[in-house]
């Protein structure tokens, strides 16, 4: 039974796709920044040992003493691992390469698939009052990604507008189904977001048609265009919404944030 003495917790969304370079991290960072612009408070959990979300949100490697690794493997309290970013209302649990050994270290832990689930449900979470938690997954269907799916309410899938984009999707859907059948029956698909879309490229158009034909309403109306400002922003350690607020990429991520909020009934249509 739900514990009515606790406020309703944050909506937890895993940003996942086992393919690398499809726009997971870019989407996690910029959707987070766009939700914050809409006056939501957001926590990004960097679940990728590459730590790109941490870098992209301005957390220097020297400031990553307490990370997702400590949260999962050492049962660290939330207060020790959650950091503020330069953007008010946007927090992060950073990651380092340490996280790459977590899979192996946790292999004999009976609760290995539930570690992130339990970590994000520490009572200390209530005090932060986050509206959303976005989990930036690694490019694999490993134990880390399973932890994200077990802890999340939904999965948001970036799909690069490129040949073979849909091919890996069946494997991802299978993993989602397995998680539903075992640990998290209520896991939903938040939606599929087409990324790095090039309007002048027939292939991009084809991928969009295929995606909408096969996945229907799961595909967000919003499409993220390929935009050089988006790819430049991480080297300035900021979301594109701060780096170039009027760029096409920033405008698109704001539209995505509004769509996500509409789907979650937090914004009138």
Ligand X SMILES: Nc1ncnc2c1ncn2[C@@H]1O[C@H](COP(=O)(O)OP(=O)(O)O)[C@@H](O)[C@H]1O
Q: Which residues bind ligand X (CB under 6 A)?
A: 20-26, 52, 139, 195-196, 224, 226-227, 230-231, 234, 249
> Maximum CA pair distance of the chain?
54
Query: Shortest Cβ distance from residue 53 to Mg ion (Å)?
Result: 7
227 contacts which partner out of ligand X, Mg ion, none, CB within 5 to 8 A by kind? ligand X
- Pick one of 11, 19, 24, 117: the residue that binds Mg ion (CB under 5 A): 24
Tokens representing 12?
């937890």
Beta bridge partners of 43: 91, 133
**75 phi-psi bin (left φ>0, alpha ψ -120 to 50, beta other):** left
Q: What's the distance, CA 77 to chain centroid?
A: 21
**Minimal distance in Å, beta carbon 247 to ligand X?**
10
159 binding partner (options ligand X, Mg ion, none; Cβ < 5 to 8 Å by kind): none
Q: H/E/C letters for each residue in 32-76? A: HHHHHHCCCCEEEEECCCCCHHHHHCCCCHHHCCCCHHHHHHCCC
Nearer to Mg ion, 11 or 19 (CB): 19
Identify which of residues 102 and 230 has a Cβ nearer to ligand X in the complex: 230
CB of residue 123 vs Mg ion: minimum separation in angstroms?
A: 30
Between 78 and 197, whose beta carbon lies closer to ligand X?
197
Smallest separation (angstroms) from ligand X to the CB of 16: 9
CA dihedral 90, 53, 23, 144 (to 10 degrees): -110
Smallest separation (angstroms) from ligand X to the CB of 6? 33
Q: Kindly identify the residues of this chain, within the stretch 51-80, that bind Mg ion according to CB under 5 A.
A: 52
Q: If DSSP codes are grouped into helix, strand and coil, which group holds residue 166?
A: coil
Q: Which of 29, 215, 17, 12 is nearest to 131 (CA)?
A: 12
Q: Which of 10, 14, 22, 25 binds Mg ion (CB under 5 A)?
A: 25
Instruction: Using the rule CB under 5 A, give the single segment among 33-41, 49-57, 64-72, 151-159 that binds Mg ion.
Output: 49-57
End-to-end CA distance of the chain: 31
Q: How far apart are CA 38 and CA 52, in angstroms?
A: 24
CA 107 to chain centre: 24
- Taking the complex as a whole, the smallest distance from the CB of residue 160 to ligand X amounts, in Å, to 8
Question: Which of Mg ion, ligand X, none does 195 bind, CB closer than 5 to 8 A by kind?
Answer: ligand X
| DSSP state letter for 168 | T
Judged by beta carbon, residue 125 or residue 147, the one nearer ligand X is: 147
Q: Which residue number, 52 or 147, has a Cβ lying nearer to ligand X?
A: 52
Q: How big is the site for Mg ion, counted in residues (CB under 5 A)?
A: 3
* Closest distance to ligand X from the beta carbon of 48 (Å): 7
- Site residues for Mg ion per CB under 5 A: 24-25, 52
């Amino acid at each position: 039974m739900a514990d009515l003495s606790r406020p309703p917790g944050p909506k937890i969304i895993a940003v996942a796709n086992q393919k690398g370079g499809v726009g997971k991290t870019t989407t996690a960072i910029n959707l987070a920044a766009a939700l914050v612009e809409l006056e939501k408070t957001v926590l990004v959990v960097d679940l990728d040992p590459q730590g790109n979300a941490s870098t992209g949100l301005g957390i220097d490697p020297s400031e990553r003493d307490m990370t997702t690794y400590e949260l999962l493997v050492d049962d660290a309290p939330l207060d020790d691992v959650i950091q503020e970013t330069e953007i008010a209302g946007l927090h992060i649990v950073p990651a380092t390469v340490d996280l790459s050994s977590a899979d192996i270290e946790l292999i004999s832990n009976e609760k290995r698939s539930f570690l992130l689930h339990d970590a994000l449900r520490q009572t200390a979470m209530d005090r932060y009052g986050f509206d959303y938690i976005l989990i930036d997954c690694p490019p694999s269907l490993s134990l880390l990604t399973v932890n994200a799916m077990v802890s999340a309410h939904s999965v948001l899938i970036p799909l690069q507008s490129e040949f073979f984009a849909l091919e890996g999707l069946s494997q991802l859907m299978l993993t989602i189904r397995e998680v539903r059948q075992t640990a998290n029956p209520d896991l939903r698909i938040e939606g599929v977001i087409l990324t790095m879309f090039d309007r002048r490229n027939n292939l991009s158009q084809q991928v969009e048609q295929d995606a909408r034909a096969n996945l229907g309403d799961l595909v967000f109306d919003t499409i993220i265009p390929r935009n050089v400002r988006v790819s430049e922003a991480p080297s300035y350690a900021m979301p594109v919404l701060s780096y170039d607020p009027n760029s096409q990429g920033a405008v698109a991520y704001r539209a995505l944030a509004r769509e996500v909020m509409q789907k979650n009934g937090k914004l009138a249509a």
